[in-house]
Amino acid sequence: MKAQPGMHEGSPVAHYYRANSPEWHWLEERETPDVRLFLDAANHQHAEWFAPLRPLAETLYQSHLARRELAITSLKTALDHFTFWNNTAAEDDYPCWWRHPNGQPDAHECFLDVRDRAADQPFYDMGDMALSPDEQWLAWTEDTQGDERFTLWLKALPNGKPQQLLSDIGASVCWAEDQAANGATLLFTRFDDTQRPDSIWRVWIPFSTPERLAEPTLIMRENDPEFWIGIGKTRSKAWLLIESGSKDTTEIHAVPANQPQASPLCLHARQAGVEVSIEHRPGTFYRLQNLEGPHFQLDFMHITQHSADAPEWQPLIAHREATTLEGIDAFDWGLIIAERSHHDAQVMLRRLVLDKDHNLSLDKHIELPETPCSQLLEDSPHFNANTVHLREESFTRPPSWYALNLDSGERTLLKQVPVYGQLLPEQLVSQRIWATSADGERVPVSIVMRADLIGQPLPTLLYGYGAYGEALDPWFSIARLELLERGAAFAVAHVRGGGERGEPWYLNGKMAHKENSFNDFLAARDALVNAGFSQPERIVACGASAGGLLVGTCINRRPEAFCAAVLEVPFLDVLRTMQNPELPLTTAEYSEWGNPEDPEVAERIRGYSPIDNIRSQHYPALWIEGSWFDTRVSYWEPAKFYARVTEAQQGSSPVLLHTDMTSGHGGASGRFKAWRDTARQDAFILWALGLASVDTTHQQP
């Protein structure tokens, strides 16, 4: 193990370098002792470098705690028999779940203490909770390692003993509507060898002897390695929906919820490139589909029985060029549709009231409090509800929950996240500017800062994602206030590949169009400088997962554009990962990145894959984070990138790797550990932006 030119003496990269593996592929051998030794050495190097910033991180952490309400009680949800909610005590990481009989608030009882479930576990994640139709039995799933393989548990409410029923299943569980005195049917998913949810199963739960569980029955298996399968239930509780889908194709079957043993009815057979979602009202199914155009159309189909001879779909809202239909929720009175304006990059909720003959009596948008903002329909379990719950927030407005009476239009504030401290939401200002990308496309860029600093260029944290059609709609962050109070600005580049401007925005940032994502991010950076919002020498780039790919590619191409970069569980070894179908998730990703068995696709991916484009140059300071149990982005991707950039680094800026050895893709499971992780990252960002109030002259990037 010989140190290479340019390596710092004593660096883990110098010590563990192998001449027979210059690309560091040996780090993929998880069971090799040197792998953990290397990661431990990198963690030690990270800790030593970070030592002068620890007091700042502690200050940020304590200030973060002081800004928020630590004791949290959720909104109460009244079901048919009981009202349910959870509360988290000020000193706890995890909540307790409570209930009381409807109309009897004094008869409350804790039925699940998640604190006890998580005690002594280095990692804990509750995947899903499902109440039986009579609300007297609880099924839930747990992951205690971070690898997203879950265990199924069951208990009688409120005080029954938890019993483990199944292991190594998917996160989601769903009860059928066939409950009898002696039991009920529960549905769940299982994985194949690549951790792809490939099958739906049902099992009868005998309430008197749940430990004597019969062998589960296979309902449906998905054999195409590019497709995942999942199970859900319509709000009407009439149908179970089995969805099998890839990144761009969907097939949906339905099973009567009260007859889970019935053969599935195909509501939409797969057609390559056609995506659908289904909802139900008595006698009618609704379908969002992009068969008629990429922005989706809403159809309906009348059906009165479980029959293979289904009638034809008919259009209700035709395909439009300026709007993408994103989601549909059905109630007995009609529909609420989420639709996104391509021009404004804004989602609005649209209410359609339909009578029993399907005549439209009202078509109206729900009012927005401001633009841009996020407005979501919260869980509304009752099919006949005439009051729905909305969740609203923006970059300057903390999350607020409202009850909207659909008859009167009256809005009632139910809850708003409180914010404490010297910098309050009303002292912030948010703006949206438009960058011009390399091909002339206009790219929205959001920026938030202290109102008293507007008009002067500020040190800036620039965040981006740009994949899978995920939209970075405005969101409020209490932790972000630590950066803003110290004079930083926070910006979001809404690059193509995301969904901020509808389906076209996504399609023009994937596969053969992926270059647009990188050009958009760099154009956003330049627009912030040119518009006078950002100081050119004090911009930190940040991205997580596929956003790490975005940032990794951009710092390879223009390292001088950023003083530092933060890459969280970053997808960096794109070509090699996509060439290995044995890895979890790879085959399902072909429709996002392409299948590199095609030489042209392989060459295209090689052209931007961050780890394949490292070269000798002055890289900015890098903060790289990985997770040992990550099944979405294997720990070795950030580790190999760290090693190879360290070898290529021609400047003095630090290249730092930290691998969390107890978590998965989502990072720490407990909220206090997660907040400490955020405080450490923010301390690095403030240092890189020149806003750290500590003497780090020897560390300047």
Residue 48 has pLDDT above 90, yes or no: yes
Would you call the peptide bond into 133 cis, given omega within 30 degrees of 0 as the criterion? no
The span from the CA of 530 to the CA of 448, in Å, is 17
Give the number of C-alpha atoms closer than 13 A to the C-alpha of residue 481, restricted to the C-beta side.
25
* pLDDT tens digits, 532-545: 999 999 999 999 99
The span from the CA of 254 to the CA of 691, in Å, is 56
Residue 2 has pLDDT above 60, yes or no: no
Q: What pLDDT score does 698 carry?
A: 47
Least confident stretch, 257-261, 606-610, 632-636: 632-636
The span from the CA of 427 to the CA of 441, in Å, is 33
* pLDDT tens digits, 375-393: 999 988 899 989 999 999 9
Least confident stretch, 100-104, 191-195, 620-624, 656-660: 191-195
Q: Is the dihedral of CA 279, 280, 284, 285 positive or negative?
A: positive
* pLDDT tens digits, 204-248: 999 999 888 899 999 999 999 889 999 999 999 999 999 999 989
Residue 700 has pLDDT above 90, yes or no: no
Nearest alpha-carbon partner for 626 in 665, 591, 590, 654:
665
Q: What pLDDT score does 583 carry?
A: 84
The span from the CA of 114 to the CA of 125, in Å, is 10
- DSSP letter at 242 equals E
203, 185 contact by CB (below 8 A): yes
**Better-predicted residue by pLDDT, 210 or 348:** 348
Amino acid (one-letter) located at 572: L
- Helix 33-50 / helix 671-688 crossing angle, nearest 10 deg: 60
For residues 144-170, give the mean pLDDT.
93
The span from the CA of 256 to the CA of 304, in Å, is 12
Would you tell me how many other CB atoms lie within 10 Å of the CB of residue 504? 15
Q: What pLDDT score does 308 carry?
A: 45
459, 691 contact by CB (below 8 A): yes
Nearest alpha-carbon partner for 540 in 559, 561, 562, 516:
562
pLDDT band at 356 (very low <50, low <70, confident <90, very high): confident
Q: What pLDDT score does 309 carry?
A: 54
Q: What pLDDT score does 4 carry?
A: 40
Q: What pLDDT score does 147 carry?
A: 85
Residue 701 has pLDDT above 70, yes or no: no
95, 82 contact by CB (below 8 A): no
Pairing of strands 428-436, 411-416: unpaired
Q: What pLDDT score does 303 carry?
A: 80
Question: pLDDT averaged over the chain?
Answer: 93
For residues 557-582, give the mean pLDDT.
96
* pLDDT tens digits, 257-266: 999 999 999 9
Least confident stretch, 244-248, 608-612, 644-648: 244-248
The distance between the two most distant Cα atoms of the chain, rounded to a whole number of Å, is 79
Amino acid (one-letter) located at 126: M
Q: What pLDDT score does 49 carry?
A: 96
The span from the CA of 103 to the CA of 701, in Å, is 62
H-type alpha helices, 186-278: none
Q: What pLDDT score does 355 carry?
A: 87
233, 174 contact by CB (below 8 A): yes
H-type alpha helices, 101-212: 114-118
3-state helix, strand, coil in the chain (%, to 5): 25, 35, 40
* pLDDT tens digits, 78-133: 999 999 999 999 999 999 999 999 999 999 999 999 999 999 888 999 999 999 99
**Better-predicted residue by pLDDT, 437 or 694:** 437
- With a pLDDT cut of 70, the percent of the chain lying above it is 96
Place of tokens 């989420």: 338
